[in-house]
Amino acid sequence: MLSEKSKINEVNYSFKCPSCDKGMIKILKTTYDVPDGDKMLLIKFECNICNFSNNDVIPLTTNNTPGIMTLRVSNENDLKSKIYRSPVGKLEIPELELFVVPGPRADFYYTNVEGILFRFENAVSIYRKNLEKDDDELEDIDKILHDLHKAMKGEFKFTLIITDTGGGSYIIPKDESKYSFQKFEQKELN
């Protein structure tokens, strides 16, 4: 569990709450040991008066272990799992026909599963708008959108896979029992 592996090592107050403008934002920094031996810094911002809160994740060490990370997503809680894809990481959700492949201008990004679905929904909706009304693809696109909307509510089970040949990508699962990491053998990289 997160609580066993992480330690809160700093709490401080620094700025005024952007939401209520009265409270002070408390910053909690927690280091978290990723199952494969690396460290992440989790930063949580919390207002001491209203319920405003936000959080962010920063890798403290570089994960140099190339491999395949797999996360099973089957409920709303799993959607909050943190995702960090390095520029060489390939991200896919086969059940939703979603693929993010590495490329020369592929950017690093941090988000959670929900954030990935949201970006994808946006892209698919734009794509759909540009199709002709009698396009054969419409039926497929509508099926994807339908499943995607269910997925965004945690009502559609899917698998999120990151294949990283260079290391550097992370998944921080909400439920560790749904996460697995398969290390590449050296011969697979050549």
Residues that bind Zn ion (CB under 5 A): 17, 19-20, 23, 47, 49-50, 52
Closer residue to Zn ion in complex, CB, 45/52: 52
Quick one: 28 or 106, whose CB is closer to Zn ion?
28
Least Å distance between CB 23 and Zn ion?
4
**Between 20 and 101, whose beta carbon lies closer to Zn ion?**
20
| 85: Cβ contacts below 8 Å, ≥ 6 apart | 91, 100, 108, 109, 162, 169
When the beta carbons of 3 and 51 are compared against Zn ion, the nearer one is: 51
Please say which residue, 44 or 128, places its beta carbon nearer to Zn ion. Answer: 44
Find the shortest distance in angstroms from Cβ 114 to Zn ion.
23
For Zn ion, the closer of residues 45 and 110 by Cβ is 45
Q: Are 78 and 160 in contact (CB under 8 A)?
A: no
Least distance CB 19 / Zn ion (angstroms): 5
What are the structure tokens assigned to 179, written together? 């996460």
The residue type of 66 is P
Q: How far is the CB of 25 from Zn ion (least distance, A)?
A: 8
Q: What angle do CA 35, 151, 123 make, to 5 degrees?
A: 100
Q: How far is residue 64's CA from residue 29's CA, in Å, rounded to a whole number?
A: 24
**Residue 109, helix vs strand vs coil:** strand
Are 55 and 44 contacting, i.e. CB atoms less than 8 angstroms apart? yes
- Between the CA of residue 23 and those of 17, 29, 30, what are the distances in Å? 5, 19, 22
CB of 52 to Zn ion, least distance (A): 4
Closest distance between Zn ion and the C-beta of residue 85, in Å? 32
Give the residue among 68, 36, 103, 90 at the shortest CA–CA distance from 188: 68
